[in-house]
Amino acid sequence: MKSFLTALKFLTIIPLGKVKGVEDQRKLARSIIYFPLVGILIGSVLVAIDFILKPFFPGSLVNLVILVALVVITGALHLDGFMDSMDGLFSGQNKNRILEIMRDSRVGSFATVALVLLLLLKLFFLNEIQSDIRWPVLILMPALSRWTVIYSAWLYPYARREGGGLGKVFAKSVSKRGFIGATILIIILSGLLLRLKGIITLLIVFGVLFWLTRWINKKIGGMTGDTYGAIIEVVEVVTLITVYSVNFLNL
């Protein structure tokens, strides 16, 4: 329970008071296996917002509120990492320079454009997701995307040699048992929420994740806190696109 609260405190702005473990790197590292559960909770909040607002407001407005809520509840933590990663990874520089750019707090033009496109894609597909799978998608999207941090941390080392941000806490901190347990949870959740379509979605998303993490690792030799955030944001979009496509094609 303590590890779950630590993960919840770290990933959201939900007021929990002082939670022991957030400042303790070892306890914070252990909390990573609860990231998918935090994702389920975030998704449940999105479903509650949809349930409350849908009878009174147009669907497009409700989806905008859901998107804003997703940003607010996470404190824009992952969006910040996404923007830093876009500036660095697409800079065309070598590894050391990429890491320097990612650490720079200034936002470049590429990151700004990437952020706008990311949010537009999320809003577009939230508007397009079919009503019969809407609530399952709102739960699966944040849960699956936060599982990707477990995969990335289990498989890849921390990219920076000197110093370290929050990403260093998680890199290589996941045990094989923890990874398998979290993965089984995501497989079961995908099947329960969307049945066969959920499993197909999971396989496609995993294919994208496999390629994306290998590409990042090739660029900078591992992962950072910024790339974890970027992966979460990208996978949220990929999940929306994939679920919509799988359902549309009736696979």
Q: Give the least confident one: 26-30, 34-38, 77-81, 118-122.
A: 26-30
In the 3-class helix/strand/coil scheme, how is 161-211 assigned residue by residue?
A: CCCCCHHHHHCCCCCHHHHHHHHHHHHHHHHHHHHHHHHHHHHHHHHHHHH
Torsion over CA: 220, 223, 226, 227 (sign)? positive
For residue range 134-176, list pLDDT tens digits in order: 999 999 999 999 999 999 999 998 887 766 666 777 777 788 8
For residue range 25-49, list pLDDT tens digits in order: 677 778 888 999 999 999 999 999 9
Cα angle 107-65-68, degrees, rounded to a multiple of 5: 20
Question: How many percent of the chain have pLDDT more than 90?
Answer: 58
> What was the pLDDT predicted at 165?
67
For residue range 198-234, list pLDDT tens digits in order: 999 999 999 999 999 999 999 998 899 899 999 999 9
Is the pLDDT score of 9 beyond 60? yes
DSSP structure string for 45-80: HHHHHHHHHTTTS-HHHHHHHHHHHHHHHTTTHHHH
CA distances from 1 to 59, 143, 228 (A): 36, 18, 24
Confidence of residue 68 (pLDDT cuts 50, 70, 90): very high
> What was the pLDDT predicted at 72?
94
Cα angle 41-228-50, degrees, rounded to a multiple of 5: 30
Distance CA 137, CA 194 (A): 8
Confidence of residue 21 (pLDDT cuts 50, 70, 90): very low
Q: Which residue has the higher pLDDT, 31 or 61?
A: 61
Long-range contacts of 97-102 (CB under 8 A, 24+ apart): 98/219, 98/220, 99/159, 99/160, 99/220, 99/224, 102/224, 102/226
Helix (H) or strand (E) holding 155: helix 134-155
Range of the domain at 111: 2-248
Nearest residue to 154 (alpha-carbon basis) of 33, 63, 236: 33
For residue range 231-247, list pLDDT tens digits in order: 999 999 999 999 999 98
Is the pLDDT score of 85 beyond 80? yes
Cβ atoms of 182 and 147 closer than 8 Å:
yes
Q: Which residue has the tokens 């370290």?
A: 164
- CB crowding 201-222: b at 16 or more within 10 Å, else e: bbebbbebbeebbeebbebbbb
Number of domains in the chain: 1
Cβ atoms of 139 and 47 closer than 8 Å:
yes
Confidence of residue 20 (pLDDT cuts 50, 70, 90): low
Cβ atoms of 149 and 35 closer than 8 Å:
yes
> What was the pLDDT predicted at 106?
77
Q: Report the SS3 class of residue 128.
A: helix
> What was the pLDDT predicted at 203?
96
Residue 248 tokens read as 């549309």
